[in-house]
Structure 1
Amino acid sequence: MDVLNVLSCFAVVVLHCTTVVYVNQGNMQWFVSVVLQSLFMFAVPVFFMISGANLVGYRSRYSTKVFFQKRLKRVLMTLVSFSFFIYVLSCFVPAQLGLPSRSFSLFEFINLFLTNQICDVYWFMYSILILYLITPLLACFASNKRLLEYAICLCVVSTAVIPFANRFVSNHDLFSVFAVPYLTGAIMYYLIGYYIVTYSPFEDCADRMRPALLIVAICSVVFMALMTIKTNVPHTVLSGAYSDYDNFYNNYLNLPVLVYSVSLFMLFRSLEPLFQSDKHPFMTVFSKLSSLSFDVYAIHMVFIWALDVYVLHNIFWDAVIRPFVVFVLSLLFAFVLEFLKKFCQIKRTAKV
C-alpha cells in the first residue's frame, strides 16, 4: 500500500505536468506526453483501490461514528484549508503564481468551493468524500464474498464494459440502457481494491501470476497509447486542422485503464512478502512518504502553476525534469506542514 501510494502520488504529478496532450497538436512533445499519460494513468484508480482496501471493512476496527470522525474530518479539512489557501493566493499574488486574479470575497469563495472552481484537480477529494458517505452501506455486504463479486461485476459492466462496447458500434448508446446507474464511476475501484486485499484472488499462485500480470499491464499501456494516437492524429496532423483531444482510451473509468490498474495493483499485492522482508529497510522511507501523499496531492498544482510562469515549456522540461521538481517541492511543503502541525499540537498539549 505504501509503495503504491507513493508511486501513485508521483504519477498524479506526471499526469498534470503533461497536460499538453489536451492541446492536441500532434508534435513530438504531444506524442511523448500521450505515452506518459498512458503509463501513469493508474494513479487515480490505484488511489481509489487503496482507499477501498483500507476502509470498506472498517466495521471490524471501529464504529461508523469513529470512521466518519477519522476520515471525513481529515479529507474535508484538507479540502477546505487548501482551497482557501489557493483562493487567498489568487487574491493577493495571482500573477506571480499563474493564478486567476480575484478580489477577496467570502461569498465568492463559498460559491467557487461548492462548484470545484478553485482547483479543478480537487475533484478527487470531492469524490472520495462521497465514497466515504456511502461506505457504511457498502460495508453491510462487503463480508459476503459472492454478493461483493456480484456488485463488482455490475460496476465493471456498467462503468467500463458498456462504454467500451459502444465505442465500436454506430449507435453509441446501444447498450447504455443496461447500465446500473448507482453502480458506476469510482465505486468500481473502491470495491475492487477491498476485494483484492480481503479475498486475495490467485494468492496460492502469486509467484506464477506475476509474469502474466506484468505482461497484461504492459500490453494495456501499449494499447492505450497506440489507440489514443490513432484516434487523435487523423484529426490533427493528417488533416492539418485542430480538433479536441479524445482521451477515451486513457480515461480512468474505461476498460483499458481498468485492466492496467487492476493488473498493477495485483502485481504489487503479490510482492508484499518481498516488501515486508528485512532485506528492504527502505520501506520505512516509503511509509513516511506515503503519510505525506495527501498533502502532496493537495499542493502540487500550485507549484505547477508557479513554474509555468517562470519556465518556458519544452519537451525535456515537461516530460523529464518538471515532474521531479514539482514532486520534491510538494514533499518539502508537506514535511514543513507536518512539522508545524506537530509543533502546534505540542504547544496545545503543554498548555493543558
Structure 2
Amino acid sequence: MKLYISVLNCVSCVAVVLLHTNGIFWSHPSGELWISANFIETYFYWAVPIFFMISGATLMDYRERYTTAEFYKNRIKKTVVPFVFWSLISGMFMAYISEVPMDWNIIHIIDNTFNTRYFSIYWFFIPLFAIYISFPIISFAAENIQLMTFFALIGSIVVFTLPLLCELFHITMNKDVVPPVVSGYMVYIFLGYILDKVTLDKKKRWSIYIVGIIGWFIHFEGTSMLSTGAEINTMFKGYTNFPCLLQSVAIFVLFKYMDYKKIFGRFYHIVSDMIFKCAKCTFGVYLLHYFFVIGLPKEFNIDGRRLIWRVGGGILIFLICALFTHFAKKNQIIRKVLP
C-alpha cells in the first residue's frame, strides 16, 4: 500500500474517534462550548468520505490482483464477519450499559444488526457492502479514466450540488434525477481512484486547497448561524453535501502530495514503518473505539463537555484500540473478527 494511503487511513481513523468523543455537538450547547464543538465536528468531517475514497483508490482495479470470487471472499472475511460479530457484542454491551435485558429473538437481532441499531456508528458498513457489490461492474470503468471523471462530475452535480441548491431555493428535490451509477457515496469511490491515478500540478492543487477551506467554512459558519434552540441545522451537513465534497477532496490531495521524506527526515523509514503498521489496525480501532467512547464516561464519570475529553480522550482511545488490535491480531482466532 502507498504511504500516503496509509497516512490517510491513520489520520481519518483518529478523526472518526474525535467526532464521536465530540458527541456533545449534537446537543447544541451554547457559548464557547458550541464554538469548539462545531469546530471539531466540521474540521474533521472529511473522515468518513476519505475512507470511501481509499476504497476507490485501492479496490477499483482489484481485477489486476485477483478474481471477482476471491474479491468477494476477502470482503466477506474482512468486513461482513467482523460486522456481524461486533454488532452482536455491541448489542450485549448496550444491554449492560442501559441495564435493559437484550432481546434474543432472532428476528429482532437480525433487524437491529441490519439496521445498525446497537451501535449507530456501524452504519458505515451498509453502504460499504452496497459498494462492494457494485465493484465487479464499476471496476470495468477503471480502464477509462475519462469515463470515470464523467461519472464523478455528474455525481458531484446531481448528488452533492443540486440537493443543496434545491434546499436553498425551497425547491423539492426529485431524487429520481440521480443516475443509479453515481448514487449514494459512489462519487467518492470514483474520485478516490481518479485522484490516486492522475497527477496534479501545483496550481491545481492549491486551487483545490482553497475551495476545500471554503467548503469547511461554509459548513462551519452555516451550521453556526442557522442552528437555533436545541436544533442543529443540517442544511450544510451530510457526507453527500457540497461543502463536505470540497473539503474531502482537498484533504485527499493534501496528503497525497506531502513530501514525507522531507517531513520525517532521517526517521523516514522508522516512521513510515510505524504508519504502515498503524494503518493495518485502523479497522480494528473503528470496530472497538465506541465501546470506550460510551463506557469510559459512564465508568469514570467523565464530563463529556470538557475539551480534554473531546480531544485528548479521543486520541487516547485511538492509541488504546490500535495497540490492542496490533497485539490481538497475532492470535489466529481473534484476527478472524478483528482483521
TM-score scaled by length of structure 1: 0.85
Give me the whole-angstrom Cα distance separating, in 2, the residues matched to 1:219 and 1:7: 21
Answering whether residue 205 of structure 2 is matched by residue 218 of structure 1, we say: no
Partners of 2:76 and 2:335 lie apart in 1 by 22
How big is the shift at 1:277? Answer: 8.5
| Corresponding residue number in structure 2 for 1:321 | 312
In the alignment, the residues of structure 2 paired with residue 58 and residue 100 of structure 1 have an alpha-carbon distance, to the nearest angstrom, of 45
* Aligned AA (2:305): N
CA distance change for structure 1 residues 8 and 283 in 2, over 3 Å: closer, same or farther? same
Mapped partners of 1:266, 1:99: distance in 2: 46
Q: Is the partner of 1:341 in helix, strand or coil?
A: coil
Q: Which runs of no fewer than 5 residues in structure 1 stay unpaired?
A: 237-241, 346-352
8 A contact 2:141–2:148 mirrored in 1: yes
Partner in structure 2 of residue 197 of structure 1: 196
**Is the CA contact 1:164–1:254 (under 8 Å) kept in the aligned structure 2?**
yes
RMSD: 2.4
Deviation, 1:340, is 2.3
- Structure-1 separation of matches of 2:68 and 2:284: 25
Shift of residue 344, structure 1, vs aligned partner: 8.3
Which of 226, 230, 235 is the matching residue for 1:248? 235
CA offset at residue 104 of structure 1? Answer: 4.0
- 8 Å Cα contact 2:103/2:109 also seen in 1: no
Q: Secondary structure at the match of 1:253?
A: coil
User: Is this contact kept in 1: 2:12–2:48, CA < 8 A?
Assistant: yes
Q: Distance in 2 between matches of 1:118 and 1:344?
A: 22
Code of the residue aligned with 1:249 in structure 2: it is: F
CA distance in structure 1 between the aligned counterparts of 2:121 and 2:106, rounded to whole angstroms: 21
Contact 1:29 1:314 in 2 (8 A): yes
Distance 1:278 1:64, change over 3 A: farther
2:94–2:118 contact (8 Å) kept in structure 1: no
Contact 1:99–1:305 at 8 Å: present in 2 too? no
- TM-superposed CA distance for 1:150, in Å, is 1.6
- Contact 1:34-1:229 at 8 Å conserved across structures: yes
- 2:93 paired with 1:89: yes
Determine what percentage of the aligned residue pairs are the same residue: 22
Pair 1:152 & 2:152 matched? yes
Gap regions ≥5 residues in structure 2: none
Give yes or no for contact 1:142–1:148 (8 Å, CA) kept in 2. yes
Q: 1:190 to 1:343 in 2, by over 3 A?
A: closer
Which residue of the other structure, out of 309, 312, 330, is the alignment partner of 2:321?
Answer: 330
Q: Is the 8 A contact 1:14 1:323 kept in 2?
A: yes
Q: What is the CA-CA distance between 1:7 and the residue it aligns to?
A: 0.3
Alpha-carbon contact 2:57-2:196 (below 8 Å) kept: yes
Secondary structure of 2:303's counterpart equals coil
Q: Which amino acid aligns with 1:224?
A: H
User: In structure 2, do the counterparts of structure 1 residues 248 and 337 end up closer, same or farther at CA, with 3 Å as the change threshold?
Assistant: farther
Higher mean displacement: 318-327 or 184-193: 318-327
Alpha-carbon distance in structure 1 between the residues aligned to 2:19 and 2:48: 10
Query: For residue 188 of structure 1, what is the amino acid of its counterpart?
Result: V
Match of 2:168 in 1: 168
Name the amino acid aligned to 1:183: V
Mapped partners of 1:245, 1:179: distance in 2: 27
How many Å separate the matches in 1 of 2:136 and 2:112? Answer: 29
1:56-111 deviations in Å (ceiling 9; x for gaps): 111112111111111232100110111122223345xx13xx67542444443223
Q: Is 1:38 aligned with 2:42?
A: yes
Give matches, 1:126-141, under 5 Å. Answer: 126-141=126-141
CA contact (8 A) 1:41 1:250 kept: no
Larger Rg: 1
What CA distance in whole angstroms lies between the structure 1 residues aligned with 2:258 and 2:27? 38
1:118 match: 118
Q: Is 2:159–2:184's contact at 8 Å kept on the other side of the alignment? A: yes
Output the CA distance in 1 between the equivalents of 2:168 and 2:79. Answer: 39
Q: Check whether the contact 1:37–1:250 (CA below 8 A) recurs between aligned residues.
A: no
